[in-house]
Structure 1
Amino acid sequence: MFDQLIGREHASGLLGAEVARTAASHGGLVLVAGEPGIGKTALVTDVAREAGGHGFLVLGGSCWDAENAPGYWPWTQVLRALRRLVDGEEWAELERASAHALGALLADPRPDDAADRDDFALFDAVTTALVTASQRRPLMVVVDDLHWADAASLRLLRFAAQHTWFERVLLVGTYRDAEVEPGSEGDAGHPLREAMLPLLARATTVALEGLDEAGVGDLIARTVGRRAEPALVAEAHRRTGGNPFFVEQTARLWQGGGAVDTVPPGVRDVVRRRVALLSPEVAELLRQAAVLGREFHRQVLAAALGTPPARAERLLGQAVAARLVVPRADGGFAFGHDLVRETLYAALDEPGARRRHAAVVRALDRRPALADRVPPAD
């Protein structure tokens, strides 16, 4: 049933089972997590399309990455969709069931200060509308990009999840786990982390990883219309880590005659945004690591930075939590994607690159034994 996306059969099956249970009995809360470009929205959109074809009323809202986004913005979109998709008689019924409180989110112009509202009454009104609508047919409510949500919208999602548990209402959210979930010790992290934690404790979480090499080959073929040579597929998998967005961008670049070692502009922008979310100390550590290569050892990195190994390890913990770096079985580390390292290295100006290379040489001169922990050049 839910098998339209390359390499997502297991995740589609999990979501499909949630849809089937909601249709037959009761819903719940599902959170789809992963790094930017991994295919969270594509997966949920595919499942929502299938659910709509099987009688579900599908409602959706997206959070907005802007300081001037109004409070409860994704829920305003959900209610607008509900009002648009049901007939006038049913909408009037929903308004009566919610004591006509839905207008607080649909008012135009809307109140400027959401904090002045009675949150419980608003939460109850929205939840009651969803439950009432689900008496006629099952509902699937999708809230995309929860990492950009306001705290009040997350509280409303938590309230709805708790009070629709025995109803035919399936709540689905997507979020970038590296921006929300706890990182290393002492990392203050995302400002909405505290609001997200109760959701994470209650939800079924579907975590998306990169495609395997076969999936990368299939995605390249779908993107450019023909199969790629095995060596090219292997190179794409190595450089992208199987991230579908990175694979598609790379395939289009190659199809247009771009060099194999060129970082696509769209990928470069995504990587720069992810690095910008980190502290300056972690960003500098990653730039120094990019000079060392795709794989590196923390002791070499610490020596080049002139920082204690314990501090370098703490900073690396934050990079690992951000999914930019992965630990290796041999005790070393590696960039999650070659494209991450290439983007970081390409951003260095010539004096900066020379200075960082010189720092590595000086570190190895002072501690020759570390040379054994420097991987061969790519």
Structure 2
Amino acid sequence: MSSTLSSDVPGPDAIVAVPVRNEEERIAACLKAIDAQEGVDAGRLGIVLFLNNCTDNTEALVSALVPTLSIPVRVRVENFSGAHAGWARRKAMDAAAEWLGDAGNAGIILSTDADSRVPPNWVARNRAAILAGADAVAGRVELDAAEAALLPPSLPARGRLEDLYDALITEAEARIDPDPHDPWPCHRTAIGATLAVTRSAYLQVGGMPEIPLGEDGAFIARLLEHGLRVRHATDVCVTISARLAGRAPGGVADTIRSRCEEPDALCDARMETFPRVVRRYVWRRRFRAMHGRGLLARTDAWARAIGIAPAEALRIAALPLGQAIAEAERTSPRLAYRPIGPRQLPGQIRIARLGVAAIRVGLGFAGLLQRVAGRAASERTATHPHGSRI
């Protein structure tokens, strides 16, 4: 079943797409935050609300709120037994793309969540990044402070360590294998609560992946594989809920709850030991250079080094750069991600600080690898005096 309520005027060139399910407690704050955007000309911003499978008072609240907002809103309501997060986000963003097309605008599609609160400069900063050359913008998130204060103290403590280590390995990546469209400082968050993409880029990659989990990260990966320019902007930050009972299986709420229940759960996949991430970034840099010079198809030495069979190497060599990197990493057993656990974070942070300091002063990669390997060995000896591995 589907229905549409509308209070719009024609012409917006930026549409915020919001999937909504049972958000009677938070939808008002979400909409008021979007309505309070600064630096946006009247009539240039719109909202699509995609209400799906709501069984609480959300729809009635939205009906009452829409007339009070200063920006045009389109509301779509649908009930579908097979609903999941990727399906709902795609439906919302597809509706935004359709609206922009109807208005004859190339425009920008923005995504946030119904339990999130965007800052007043959110649209303006996303727009600025796109005007500066980005095809898409991925922002950062912070947990609602009042809700986060109710979590077990060990969880935010772990979060601070993960944030610190993530920033160090991201700087290493940005300096070793720089992307001119995404220079340091940057981050590597990919979350549906704060995404922006041009309508043309959205359509070029076939839209938001309609998968149950991780649709946001898969979308960013799809953009990069297509050679599009993604800016991970540090000045774009959205407040998200720290609740333990979420609306989408596998979402932020499930992650928070699982880490409360399993304090030693592994970190995100990209958080490997520092020597391993440095080797990965050095490999990407060299692979990128070989691809650019057309050398991948002339030799299979690069493929043998990472355990890829000759036939697969030829297939990968023929792909565009973004897809070639992604396929090589998916195919190679030696490039499989090996995430660390939270107990390894303090030691890896110490190693990463040394390594990043060396990268900043221009130490050669061979020397850097030797130094971080030596520091890692010292850490292992200090932690495990009998030589056992971490």
Q: Which is higher, the Rg of structure 1 or of structure 2? A: 1
TM-score higher than 0.5 here?
no
TM category (shorter chain) comes to under 0.3
TM-score w.r.t. length of structure 2:
0.25
Larger fraction in helix:
1
